[in-house]
Amino acid sequence: MSHGPLDDDAVESYREAGAVLVEAMNEAREMVEPGRSQLEVAEWVEDFVREEGAGLAFPVNLSVDPEASHATPSRDDDTEFGEEMVCLDVGVHVDGYIADAAVTVDHTGNVELVEAAEMALEAAVDEAGPGVEVGVVGQAIEDVIRGYGYTPVLNLSGHGVEQYDAHTEPNVPNRGVDRSVELEPGQAVAIEPFATDGRGKVGEGTDEEIYELQREKSVRDRRARQVLEEIAEFDGLPFAARWLSNDRAGMALRRLKQADVVKGYPVLKEADDALVSQAEHTLLVTDEGVEVITAGIHDFDG
Ligand code: CO
């Protein structure tokens, strides 16, 4: 796909989404501590974003220890944080323009694992620019993480974002790749290195709390129809089961999944049950270089 430069309104919306995200993230990361309720932290972030007049590009992800992605509290979840490594991944949109960023909060004492993902992200942002192959960005990520003696999560990658679409081309791998596509001016790209002391592969766990509308289709079941009406308000973006007001939403969601109307995002876990850290920024590719719209959440942001 070819991209023209982003128009001024789009750039302004990206910047606003980034600013709301940074404010939410820097409060929320302080709340992630042993004994605190996961649900409380997720809802605090989500309420803050809505009160700022922005939208959620996806539910707050709180991925703990071997979990890398797609974990979010369930309705009435009473899980508390422990002495854990928590990847806090937040997506905010303004008028559909998405900022996606993540930090890792560590209460396990594995400081270097967190640092490996952070430094890999810094190297990737330094490398990125118009005409730069995504495989070169991936090589920078891989080199830094392996330099720490860890492994990048090889089957997760960064991704483009477009209006009301949280995952588009181009994929930005977390490893070196020969002859890959080039970043183009006008793209918005989320770069997200994951580091682990395991084998560097994630698989699907059994928990599933995040869903997305897959296609419009009429359903007979009355309750499923009611839930589908609510889902329409999420603009095609991923949503949490706990966002649905219907107290029988679980069964309705299963029906909608069976009918291929919604798809689920199972929690992704490291295959060796090893710890996973994550660092993520969203950046705009410009004619001259990149503009990081989520700057202010990582140590290297300056
Ligand atoms: Co993210």
Does residue 79 sit within a domain?
Answer: yes
Residues 55 and 192 in one domain: yes
**CA-based angle 250:75:294, to the nearest 5?**
110
The active-site residue, picked from 159, 197, 209, 270, is 159
What is the reported pLDDT for 1? 47
CATH code of the domain containing 245: 1.10.10.10
Does residue 300 sit within a domain?
Answer: no
Residues 125 and 227 in one domain: no
CATH code of the domain containing 82: 3.90.230.10
What is the reported pLDDT for 84? 98
Does residue 297 sit within a domain?
Answer: no
Residues 164 and 63 in one domain: yes
Q: Encode pLDDT of 240-250 as tens digits.
A: 999 998 677 88
Residues 201 and 214 in one domain: no
Residue 240 CA to ligand 1 center (angstroms) comes to: 15
Total number of domains constituting the chain: 2
The active-site residue, picked from 118, 192, 197, 208, is 192
- Give catalytic status of residue 280 as yes or no: yes
Q: What percent of the chain has pLDDT over 90?
A: 89
- Give catalytic status of residue 93 as yes or no: no
Residues 196 and 216 in one domain: no
Residues 181 and 234 in one domain: no
- Give catalytic status of residue 192 as yes or no: yes
Does residue 3 sit within a domain?
Answer: no
3-state secondary structure of 129: coil
Q: Encode pLDDT of 263-301 as tens digits.
A: 999 999 999 999 999 999 999 999 999 999 999 999 888
Residues 182 and 237 in one domain: no
Burial 17-52 (b: 16+ CB within 10 A, else e): bbbbbbbbbeebbebbbeeebbbebbebbbebbeeb
What range does the domain containing 257 cover?
A: 208-265
What is the reported pLDDT for 222? 87
Question: pLDDT band for position 218 (50/70/90)?
Answer: confident
- Give catalytic status of residue 159 as yes or no: yes
Q: What percent of the chain has pLDDT over 70?
A: 98
Query: What residue type is assigned to position 251 of the chain?
Result: M
| Average pLDDT, integer, range 144-152 | 98
The active-site residue, picked from 77, 165, 167, 272, is 167
Rounded-to-integer distance, Cα 231 and Cα 27, Å: 29
- Give catalytic status of residue 100 as yes or no: yes
Residues 111 and 187 in one domain: yes
Rounded-to-integer distance, Cα 143 and Cα 120, Å: 8
Residue 222 CA to ligand 1 center (angstroms) comes to: 34
Which one, of 161, 99, 174, 166, lies nearest residue 134 by Cα? 174
The active-site residue, picked from 16, 67, 84, 100, is 100
Q: Encode pLDDT of 40-55 as tens digits.
A: 999 999 999 999 999 9
Q: Encode pLDDT of 51-104 as tens digits.
A: 999 999 999 999 999 999 999 999 999 999 999 999 999 999 999 999 999 999
What is the reported pLDDT for 6? 85
Residue whose entry in the numeric block shows the structure tokens 């002495």: 83
Does residue 227 sit within a domain?
Answer: yes
Rounded-to-integer distance, Cα 270 and Cα 283, Å: 27
What is the reported pLDDT for 290? 97
Does residue 2 sit within a domain?
Answer: no
The active-site residue, picked from 115, 270, 280, 298, is 280
